[in-house]
Structure 1
Amino acid sequence: QDDNAAMWLFSADNIKSYCNSKHHGQLIAIIEYPFIFGDAIDGYQSQTMMHKKHLLSLLQLCYFIDAWLAFLSSANYPPSIHTISCDALDIASIIVDGYISLLFIFRDSLKETEPLMPWLHSTEACEHVFGSIHQIVPDFSYLDFLYMVSKLCIKICEENL
């Protein structure tokens, strides 16, 4: 994964450049996809966005995908050419369903004991730990990992100071 490429794809400057293009009428999907998906991703990672707004951005993503697929079907356009991959659509569905499930679990079981912080339910922390391990030993084994746990804890604590 290239975080810089993802940041560029979903950036306001990139979307603005497509909107200002003389061919923007032909680029409507290229404009809409990053805007809708980027809004949903921003909501998922935001530590300040209200849960209601985050849910609305995810539902907007879900409705956009449903409407786009319905349009492609009614216009007899092949989805394999005019939409993102089936795997990406499945991931989007899993994210939406997962967040809604997280809200229900929180409401029904955890509301009185803990705050809901959905950004902690992502793989970002694991990715950071594995990135730190790769900086110490590029091709590590499980045994290497066990030996470097204490060094890794110090490294991550120093990064957070």
Structure 2
Amino acid sequence: KDKQADESAERFFSSSVLKGFTDYSVKNNDDEMYGDACYHFFCGILFESWKSHSMAHIDRVGFAWGACIFFAGVQHFLKANQATCNGNKFGISWQSCDDFIYLGLTLILLIQQWPNFYSNYPLCPWMISTAFLEHIFGCARRIIEDFTVLDFLSMNEKILKNIMIEMKG
């Protein structure tokens, strides 16, 4: 199995981990974990809105919009209250925050615009992924653990042959 496809992010943003955050907070009367639980919740619903095979598009839009509002709100609050709230302590990096907002807005716009350009095809956002690229890099790491761009280019043919063999069973 390749080293990239371990689904660790999917496991981390599961409801059982969120329940662990909240249970710990309640049991230990520790309100410092509530912020982590909020980040966890909104990241989780954003990822689920992309990955779910059965979610209605209107629900995807609602979840994505909620995540966008949360991340934009936190970003704005931390910028506006720099004197009392350390953004490095209480927030995630501005790049990550921007990425989450971008993921949410991209999904909303994709759902809105898809029928205008591809009305004959259903929109399946869970199929829009980097999984294939992650698999290719995982195959490359099986050949050379820490490869350079030149290494990757030179082993391209071998990687593709290995993938073809895997696909044939």
Structure 1 residue 14 corresponds to structure 2 residue 17: yes
Q: AA paired with 1:155?
A: E
Q: Which residue of 1 aligns with 2:164?
A: 153
Higher relative contact order (CA 8 A, sep 6+): 2
State the one-letter code of the partner of 1:145.
N
Runs of 4+ in 1 over 4 A off after TM superposition: 1-5
- TM-score, normalization by structure 2: 0.77
Number of the residue aligned with 2:44: 38
* 8 Å CA contact retained: 2:46, 2:67: yes
Structure 1 unmatched runs, 5+: none
- Aligned equivalents of 1:35, 1:108: Cα separation in 2: 32
Q: CA RMSD in A?
A: 2.4
Aligned residues: 156
The one of 100, 111, 118 equivalent to 1:103 is 111
1:86 maps to 2:100 = no
For 2:141 and 2:23, the matched residues in 1 are separated by: 41
- The CA deviation string for residues 14-67 of structure 1, in whole angstroms up to 9 with x for no partner, is 222222221342321011111111111122112222211111111110111223
Q: Which has the higher helix share?
A: 1
Does 2:61 correspond to 1:61? Answer: no
> Which of the numbers 104, 124, 132 marks the counterpart of 1:125?
132
Quick one: percent identity of the two aligned structures? 21
